[in-house]
Amino acid sequence: MGHIKELKKLPPEREKVETVKILRQLSKTSQSLGELKGIAKTIPNQAMLVNAVVLQEAKDSSEIENIITTQDELYKALASQNKPLSQVKEVINYRKAIFTGFELIKQQGFLRVKDLETIQKTIIENNAGIRAISGTVLKNDKTGEIVYTPPQEKNKILDLLSNFLEHFNINQTDLHPLINLAILHYQFESIHPFYDGNGRTGRILNILYLIINDLLDIPILYLSSYINENKSDYYKFLNQVNKTDKWEDYILYMLKAVEETANYTIRKINKITNQLETTIEKVKEEAPKIYRKELIELLFEQPYSKIEFVVEKLKVERKAASRYLKRLENIGVLKSEKIGRENLYLNSELIEILKH
């Protein structure tokens, strides 16, 4: 990203973002995404799906920012009362920010600047808001060289943001929303409106944009693991757009990311669904007295369960909840683990599916 060049407002020139190669890839990407949307609709308990996928995303997206955490630490922190490690807390905040954004979209169907601030504040836990002090530059971690200088003046940033939101909330062009998704992602990252958390906020905006455009109903497609695996290309193509105004490689990269991630998510959903059915059969057969559909779904909403969760979900006494979990452990559906003072029960089959 050349650091003198001024960031242009949206939209870019059409012939640069709608090439033959892009349109070819677009049809493959649309097909995979359509299939994911369809499969997600067939799952009776949507919370199960969203929780599983959102946790994975929160971890992967934070890893792009080098906040490394293991899934086990993350699941335990979500289930137990102990204070989480700071890097786990960042991941939990990110997950919270996704749900915050999803609620905003459901309630109002669009986003305002203050909504972007709310999402970013949930991730970072500070009130700094939109950048007001100049001097922000993006450097190469290894060489320290300045690779990009985003807009510096606050009024310029706000002007670009309102142009961004006009295109985010209503498709102003008749470009396909998936091509627009790539353009909008580039634009947000280039405006770089916050001192911190721009990457994570931008990745949440991707999923919200898919929902606004009815390409998905629930937040279950995340590009972070793809970006993690192909990080150098991601930054290379972003830079290329900025320096030379060549969009094709970058848009192809983003479309490919959506296609591969949709296919990967479909496989994961199928595995979770199969595992859920297997577990239902096992409990019906080996512990019919405690079998309840909500109980088994609860074990899939979160990889770790505990007595409180069962009490809340099934509206039963603590004694009964404890008996259910122990019985499920006896037949090998759960494994218990003591953390601090409490017993957590883990669904290790589900954890295996989520890890890979």
Could you state, in order of their start, the residue ranges of all structural domains in the chain?
A: 14-267, 287-355
Q: Which two tokens stand for residue 158?
A: 């706000």
Q: What number does CATH give the domain 287-355?
A: 1.10.10.10
How far is Cα 132 from Cα 354, in angstroms, rounded to an integer? 40
d(CA 253, CA 227): 9
What SS3 class is residue 342? strand
CA distance 137 to 131: 12
Helix or strand run (H / E) with residue 337: strand 335-339
In Å, what is the CA distance from 251 to each residue of 132, 256, 265? 31, 8, 21
Contact 209, 145 (CB under 8 A): no
Residue 167: is its pLDDT beyond 70? Answer: yes
Residue 195: the pLDDT is 93
Query: What percentage of the chain exceeds 70 in pLDDT?
Result: 97
Bridge partners (DSSP) listed for residue 335: 346
**pLDDT score for 50:** 83
pTM (two decimals):
0.91
pLDDT tens track for 338-356? 888 889 999 999 988 887 7
DSSP code at position 118 = H
199 has pLDDT over 80: yes
Helices (H) and strands (E) in the chain, counts: 16, 5
Tokens coding 47: 């919370």
Lowest-confidence segment of 72-76, 153-157, 242-246, 258-262 by average pLDDT? 72-76
Q: Is the pLDDT of residue 111 over 80?
A: yes
Rounded to the nearest integer, the mean pLDDT of the chain is 91
| Cα distances (angstroms) measured from residue 253 to each of 102, 163, 223, 226, 246 | 25, 24, 11, 10, 13
Q: First vs last Cα of the chain: how many Å apart?
A: 34
234 against 78, higher pLDDT: 234
The pair phi, psi for residue 244, each rounded to 5°, is -125, 0
pLDDT at res. 115: 98
- Helix/strand/coil for 130: strand
The full DSSP string for 14-38 is HHHHS-HHHHHHHHHHHHHHHHHHH
Residue 328: what pLDDT?
98
User: Residue 169, Cα to own-chain centre: how many angstroms?
Assistant: 19
On the question of pLDDT at 239 being above 70, the answer is yes
- Nearest of 138, 190, 130 to residue 164 by alpha carbon: 190
**14-267: which CATH architecture?**
Orthogonal Bundle (1.10)
**C-alpha triplet 66, 192, 25: angle, nearest 5°:** 80
Residue 3 has pLDDT above 50, yes or no: no
Distances (CA, A) of 185 to 25, 45, 148, 177, 201: 18, 30, 16, 12, 10
Q: Is the CB of residue 333 less than 8 Å from the CB of residue 279? A: yes
Give the DSSP letter string of 245-270. Answer: ---HHHHHHHHHHHHHHHHHHHHHHH
Neighbours of 18 (CB within 10 A): 18
- The pLDDT score that the predictor gives to residue 4 is 57
Is residue 61 a contact partner of residue 200, using CB atoms and an 8 Å limit? yes
- Measured CA angle at 167 (ends 118, 147), to 5 deg: 75
